[in-house]
Amino acid sequence: MNIPNALTMARILAIPALVATMLARYSGHEAVALAIFVAATLTDAVDGWIARKKGAVTVLGQLLDPTADKLLIASALICLVELGLIPASAAIIIIGREIAVTGFRAMASSRGINIPASAFGKAKMGSESWVLGAFVLGPNYLGRIAMGAAKIGLWLVVALAIVSMVEYFIRFGPRVISPQAE
């Protein structure tokens, strides 16, 4: 196992700790949860950078990395719904988008079509990390004004999730679903 894959596995292994900490009830648990979330999120940037720089891109890494990202984000979203910090509708849209795009990419891959991340997809992931980080830290640390900004940011993430999904389907859909692709 190479370093990028080890970092991806560390991100996956951090998820139970994140969930347990987010749902715990002790003083300062939000700050600890944020530290875990930030560390896990940073491994995503670092593992990809190392893999490309060192020529250590592997099939395992290409499979695990996006899976780890989706597990991390879905876990945080579900915990935030449970804590009453975000509406279930936002979590359902974001998680649903992830499932739909993952399925679409799998179809494309089975037909030899690579779908790279789009600018909208990258913007969604970046803003999603910041917004979810704010919600993980929560109102006890951020106060009403910052939480209001986070709520606006959440709906921006929802909009970016929808727009990026539609963009993937419009740009690649005809090639992926065409009979010639089979």
**Domains identified in the chain and CATH numbers:** 3-181 (1.20.120.1760)
> Tokens 């990395």, residue?
65
State how far the alpha carbon of 2 is from the alpha carbons of 11, 41, 45, 52, 59, in Å. Answer: 14, 19, 16, 12, 12
Residue 26 φ then ψ, to 5°: -135, 160
Residue 65: predicted pLDDT: 86
Residue 130: predicted pLDDT: 96
Helix, strand and coil percent figures for the chain, each rounded to 5:
85, 0, 15
Residue 100: predicted pLDDT: 95
Q: Other C-beta atoms within 10 Å of 179: how many? A: 5
Residue 129: predicted pLDDT: 94
Residue 48: predicted pLDDT: 81
Q: What is the mean pLDDT of each run of 10 residues along the chain (182 residues)?
A: 89 97 96 97 87 80 85 97 98 96 90 86 92 96 95 97 95 86 50
Residue 52: predicted pLDDT: 83
